[in-house]
Structure 1
Amino acid sequence: MSAWKMLYVPALLLALSAPPATAADPVPAPAPSIADVPPTPEQILAIPPELQALLKQRVIAPVYSREQRVQRLVHMIFDEDAMHLSYDPYATQTLTETWQNRRANCLSFTLLFVTLARAADIDARVQEVAQVVTWHEDQGAIYNIGHVNAGVNLDGRIAVVDLDRNVLYDRYGPQQIDPPRALAHFYNNRGAMHMSEGNLVQARAYFQAALAQEPDFVAGWNNLGVLDARSGNLVDAERDYRTALRIKPRNAASLTNASALYRRLGDTRQAGLLARRLQQVQHSDPFVQFRLGNEAEQRHDYTDAIRAYRRAISLYSTAHQFHFGLARAYFLTGDNRRASVEMSKARDLAGTNADFLKAQYQAKLDTLHRLRQGTAAVN
C-alpha cells in the first residue's frame, strides 16, 4: 500500500546515526555516478512498445465508450492473460520497470493507470491522500505512509480507481495533484528506499530530483533533512527542516525531526518549542492517536490504549479501524460488553463494498456474544 514516505527519526537514532560533526566540518557528499542519476520524467512515464500494442489491442480498438475503456483497462492490467500485475509495497518503478516486473505499489500503479488511460483518451488524473491509517517501522525510522490513487472523469462524475480498496483515507479524501507533484512522489520514494539501504549518495540525488519537480514538497525537504543529519551536515539539516516547517508549520514528521536535531545541537529552548507544537498537532490528529493506541496495546497498557482509541474516534468517528482497535482493547481488559458495542460499530461502518471485512467483524462479534453468555451463565 506504500505510496509515498516521510521519515520520522527518533532522537536516539538521530544522535547515533552519524559521527558528530561541527557546523564548519560537514561530511561532503560525493557527486553521483552516471548509474546513480535518477531517470527523467520522460523515462519514468514512457510506455514500452509492447505495452502500447497491448493497450491498443485490448482497450482502444475494441470499444468506443470511455466507461468501457476504463473497465477494459483495469482488466488488461490485472488479468492473467494480459499484464497480470501484482502488488508490491516497495515497487516504486518506472512504467517500463512495472511492465517488465509485473509488480507495483500504489504510486507505480497510479502512474501506470493514468498514463495508459490518457493514451486511451480517458480523462484521468493522479490523486493524493495526505494520510492513511497504515503505519510501519523499519530499521528505527517510522514511516508515515501517504497514498495516491487514480481519479477518472466519467461524464462529470469522478470514479476512483484504487489499488487498495480497504485503505482508510484522512478526512479530506483524495485531492487532485499535477504531474510534477506526482513525479516528486516517485523521486522521494526512491530516495527513501536508497537511504534505508545506506546508499546516501543515490538518496540525495533522488531527493534533489523531487524538489526540482516540486520546490514546496514538504516530504522531500524533511527527508533531505534526515539525510543531512545522518551525514553530519547539521547546518544543512536545520535549513531543510526550517524550509519544511515554513511550508507546513504543523507537519508532524518535520517537527519531530527538527526537535531532535535541536536537542542534538544543545538548543533545548528551540527543541522544547517544537516539541510542544508537535504535541498540539498530535492531540488533534486522529491517525496519531490511533498509532499511540496501537503502541500502548503492544506494551499491554490497555488503559492508555483505550484512552488513545477513544480520542481517535472523537476526532474521526466513522473510521471502522478505530472502533475495532477500541473493541480489541476493551476485550483485553475483560470488558466484553463494551467490546461488543464497538465491534458492532466497526461492522456497521465497514461499508457496503467490504463484505469480507464485515463478515470478519461479525464473526468476532459472535465470539464476544458467546463469551458474554458464558460469563453470565457462570455468574
Structure 2
Amino acid sequence: MNGWKSLALLALLAAAPTPLLAAPADTAATQAPAVEPIPSPQQILAIPPDLRALLQERVIAPVSSREQRLVRLVHLIFDEDAMHLEYDPYATHTLAETWKTHRANCLSFTLMFVTLARAAGIDARVQEVAQVVTWHQDQGVIYNVGHVNVGLNLNGRTAVVDLDRNVLYDRYGPRPITEQRALAHFYNNRGAEHMAEGDTAQARVYLDAALAMAPAFPAGWNNLGVLDTREGRLDQARKDYEQALQLQPRHAAALTNASALYRRLGDARRADVLAKRLEQVQKSDPFAQFRFGNEAEQRHDYAQAIAYYQQAVRLYSSAHQFHFGLARAYFLAGNTRRASLEMLRARDLAGEDADVLRATYQAKLDSLQKWRERTASN
C-alpha cells in the first residue's frame, strides 16, 4: 500500500524507502546538480496507444452497459493475457510506466483505473483517506498516513475499487478529491522517493510541482520542510512546517518535525507547545495508539501493549484489527481468557463478506481453546 508520503525526520510516519536521517547537504556548493524533466499532468495520465486499442477491443466495443464494461476493465487490468498488474509499494508510475512494467502502488493503480474507466464512459473519481492500516496475517502491520482508491457511480449506486482489500480506513472514510490534488499526490510521492535516495535537487522539483498543483496540501509542505531542513535552510523549513500546520493543525508528521526544528533553533517553548499538541493528537488517534501497541508488543512489553490496544479499541471499537492486536497481547501476557474474548470479537467484526478472515480468526480461536485445555489438564 502506498498512498501519499508525509515524512518525519525523527520518525518515519509513512511508507517510504529509507529513514531521512542523512546530514544536511553542503549549502556552500556553487554548482546546482542537474535534474531530469518531470512528467507533465498530461504525460502522467496519457493512455499508451496499444493500451487504448486493448481497452477499445476488450472493454468498450463488446458491450454498452457500464456495469459490464466495469467488469471487463477489471479483467483487462488483472488477467494474465492482458496487463496482469502486480502490486509494488514503490511504483509511483505514470500510466505508460504502469502499462510497461505491469506494476503499480495504490496511487498509480487509482490514477490508471480512473483514467481508463472514464475513457470507457464510466463515472469514476479519485478518493483519498487521511489514515489507513493494512493487515497482512503473516507479514504484520503496515502503517500509512495516506491512501487513495477509486470511487464509482453506477446508475445511482456508488462503489469503491481498492487495490488493497485489507485496508482499514479511518472513521471518515474515502472522500473525493480533484484531479489537481490527485496529481499533487503523484508529484509528492516522487519527491519523497528522490529525497530518500539523497537526490535533493530532483526532489525539490517534484515537491514544487506538487504544491503548484495543490497549494493547500499539508503533506507537500511538510515534505518540503524536511527537504529544507536536510539542506540547512532552517528558517525556510520553519515556514514550511507552519504552513502545513496552518492547513492541518493536527498533522502528526509536521508537528513532529516542527517541534524538533524549534528545539534545534533554541526555541524550547515553541517546541514544547507543539510536542504537547502532538501528544494530544496521538491520544485521540486510534491508529497512533494501535501503532504504539504494536511497537510495545515487539519490545515484549505486553502490559503496555495491552494499554495501547485498549485505547485504540475505545476510540474505534468496530475495527477487528484492533481487537485482534489486543487478543494477541493478552495471549502473550498469559491471559488466555481475555485473549479468547477479544479474538471472538475480532471474528464477529470481520463481517459476513470476509470469509477468509473470519476463518482465520476462528482457527486462532480453536487453537487458543485447545491450548487452554492442554494447560488445564497439566
Kindly state the Cα deviation for residue 174 of structure 1 after the two structures are TM-superposed: 0.5
> Once the two structures are superposed, what CA deviation does each residue of 1:153-179 show, in whole Å capped at 9, x if it has no partner?
011111111111110000001000010
> Once the two structures are superposed, what CA deviation does each residue of 1:305-351 show, in whole Å capped at 9, x if it has no partner?
00000000000001111011000100001100000011111111112
> Once the two structures are superposed, what CA deviation does each residue of 1:134-171 show, in whole Å capped at 9, x if it has no partner?
49xxxxxx974411110110111111111111100000
> Once the two structures are superposed, what CA deviation does each residue of 1:151-209 show, in whole Å capped at 9, x if it has no partner?
11011111111111110000001000010000000001111111111111111111110
Kindly state the Cα deviation for residue 293 of structure 1 after the two structures are TM-superposed: 0.2
Identify the residue that residue 121 of structure 2 maps to in structure 1: 121
Partners of 2:30 and 2:50 in 1: how far apart?
40
Q: Is the 8 A contact 1:110 1:150 kept in 2?
A: yes
Partners of 1:29 and 1:367 in 2: how far apart?
65
Identify the residue that residue 23 of structure 2 maps to in structure 1: 18
The amino acid that maps onto 2:23 is A
Partners of 2:246 and 2:95 in 1: how far apart?
34
Identify the residue that residue 254 of structure 2 maps to in structure 1: 254
Matched position secondary structure for 1:5: coil
The amino acid that maps onto 1:236 is Q
Q: Which moved more, 1:106-115 or 1:346-355?
A: 346-355
> Once the two structures are superposed, what CA deviation does each residue of 1:97-147 show, in whole Å capped at 9, x if it has no partner?
000000001000000000000001110000101100149xxxxxx974411
Equivalent residues in 2 for 1:50-199, closer than 5 Å: 50-134=50-134, 144-199=144-199
> Once the two structures are superposed, what CA deviation does each residue of 1:67-98 show, in whole Å capped at 9, x if it has no partner?
11111000010001111111111100000000
Kindly state the Cα deviation for residue 359 of structure 1 after the two structures are TM-superposed: 1.2
The amino acid that maps onto 2:331 is F
Q: Is the 8 A contact 1:87 1:105 kept in 2?
A: yes
The amino acid that maps onto 2:166 is N
> Once the two structures are superposed, what CA deviation does each residue of 1:256-308 show, in whole Å capped at 9, x if it has no partner?
00001111111111100000000000000000000000110111111110000
Identify the residue that residue 139 of structure 1 maps to in structure 2: none
The amino acid that maps onto 1:112 is M
Matched position secondary structure for 2:146: strand
Matched position secondary structure for 2:89: coil
The aligned length equals 367
Q: Is the 8 A contact 2:320 2:347 kept in 1?
A: yes
Flag structure 2 segments of 5+ consecutive residues without an equivalent: 13-17, 136-141
Q: Is the 8 A contact 1:343 1:361 kept in 2?
A: yes
TM-score between both structures, scaled by the size of structure 1: 0.93
Question: Is 1:217 aligned with 2:222?
Answer: no
Q: Is the 8 A contact 2:133 2:143 kept in 1?
A: no
CA distance 1:28–1:145, shift in 2 (3 Å): farther
Matched position secondary structure for 2:226: helix
The amino acid that maps onto 2:162 is D
Q: Is the 8 A contact 2:107 2:148 kept in 1?
A: yes
CA distance 1:14–1:146, shift in 2 (3 Å): closer
Moved over 3 A (4+): 11-17, 26-33, 142-145
Q: Is the 8 A contact 1:152 1:158 kept in 2?
A: yes
Matched position secondary structure for 1:171: coil
TM-score between both structures, scaled by the size of structure 2: 0.93
Q: Is the 8 A contact 1:7 1:144 kept in 2?
A: no
CA distance 1:64–1:177, shift in 2 (3 Å): same
Identify the residue that residue 138 of structure 1 maps to in structure 2: none
Partners of 1:279 and 1:98 in 2: how far apart?
40
The amino acid that maps onto 1:87 is Y
Q: Is the 8 A contact 2:8 2:20 kept in 1?
A: no
The amino acid that maps onto 2:355 is D
